[in-house]
């Protein structure tokens, strides 16, 4: 068994390149051993003189060398964005496998009300797959006006990390979806999932979530004010927590490599009694 003291996960909340709201949270320990805790919070990762925000984030990850990294931004683009065909026949006549599969997913839900029309310019397969499950507020398209710059930034960061002698692989999560999964699977107050970003009660909801995780034995140690006090810090913490779940095999997995290539969002999947204690052989 790996030494719990050496297990380290990271969560990244990615903000715009010209803002100072990007946050990195490092957690150490393991879930089932009762020692998973917030080890450090690096907030306000913006540009510093001639040092770009991306450079600072890259250096932190290179120095910390986490075992698993989750980021709350898409790491792939929709099929129309990645398309290199010289001419476009239109969506209905498109020969791209991803576009055809997206149409098949929509047709398989005939009779159920669509929340928005299919658009492979802004949506990936995962977006369409989750269309009918979540509230519309959770389903902002991957390549919307708000998120497109973040997608480019996240993909560029992955390229930078690929340059390391031992590349660091980013995995994608969605904090709103992860919160909804946890609330549903742990039978927590529904308000925790939808009000953690609220201006008036957000801090209270974030604190309630962390207290609930501590009481159930998921996390230990002091609750960091940088995590409770801002949506950005909390989002980075949630990404790190999902990374810790993923190390234990407690996250959703893509059905095949095609899903993974098109972009997969890792979310909590607590299919067994939890915490699951590790025992030495």
DSSP string, 189-253: -THHHHSTT-TTTHHHHHHHHHHHHHHTTS-BSPPPHHHHS-HHHHHHHHHHHHHHHHHTT-B--
Question: Mean pLDDT of all residues in the chain?
Answer: 90
What is the pLDDT confidence band of residue 175, given thresholds at 50, 70 and 90? very high
Average pLDDT over residues 74-102: 95
- pLDDT of 115 > 60? The answer is no
Helix 202-215 to helix 231-247 angle (10° resolution) is 30
pLDDT tier, 82 (very low <50, low <70, confident <90, very high otherwise) = very high
Model confidence at 179, pLDDT cuts 50, 70, 90, reads very high
Task: Work out the percent of the chain whose per-residue pLDDT is above 90.
Answer: 77
Cα angle, residue 84 at apex, residues 78 and 90 outer, rounded to 5°: 70
Question: Which residues are CB-contacts of 57 (< 8 A; sequence separation ≥ 6)?
Answer: 12, 22, 24, 45, 157
> The tokens of 208 are what?
């309630």
CA neighbor of 184 nearest in space, from 254, 115, 269: 269
Enter the pTM of the model: 0.92
- pLDDT of 137: 61
Nearest C-alpha neighbor of 266 from the set 7, 60, 9, 87: 9
- Tokens describing residue 15: 């903000």
Q: What is the mean pLDDT of residues 81-103?
A: 95
């Amino acid at each position: 068994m790996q030494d719990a003291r050496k297990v380290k996960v990271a969560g990244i909340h990615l903000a715009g390149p010209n803002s100072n709201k990007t946050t990195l949270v490092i957690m150490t320990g393991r879930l089932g051993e009762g020692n998973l805790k917030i080890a450090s919070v690096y907030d306000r990762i913006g540009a510093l003189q001639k040092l770009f925000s991306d450079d600072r984030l890259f250096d932190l990850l290179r120095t910390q060398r986490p075992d698993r990294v989750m980021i709350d931004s898409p790491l792939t683009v929709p099929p129309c964005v990645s398309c290199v065909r010289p001419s476009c026949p239109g969506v209905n006549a498109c020969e791209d496998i991803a576009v055809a599969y997206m149409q098949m997913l929509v047709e398989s839900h005939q009779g159920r009300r669509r929340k928005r029309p299919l658009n492979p310019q802004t949506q990936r397969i995962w977006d369409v797959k989750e269309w009918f499950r979540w509230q519309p507020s959770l389903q902002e398209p991957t390549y919307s006006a708000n998120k497109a710059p973040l997608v480019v930034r996240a993909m560029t960061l992955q390229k930078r990390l690929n340059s390391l002698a031992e590349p660091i692989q980013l995995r994608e999560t969605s904090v709103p979806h992860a919160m909804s999964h946890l609330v549903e699977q742990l039978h927590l107050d529904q308000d925790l999932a939808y009000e953690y970003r609220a201006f008036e009660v957000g801090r209270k909801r974030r604190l309630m979530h962390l207290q609930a995780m501590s009481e159930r034995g998921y996390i230990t140690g002091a609750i960091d004010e940088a995590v409770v006090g801002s949506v950005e810090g909390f989002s980075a913490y949630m990404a790190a927590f999902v990374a810790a779940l993923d190390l234990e095999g407690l996250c959703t997995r893509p059905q095949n490599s095609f899903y993974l290539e098109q972009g997969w969002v890792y979310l909590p999947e607590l299919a067994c009694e939890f915490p699951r204690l590790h025992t030495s052989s």
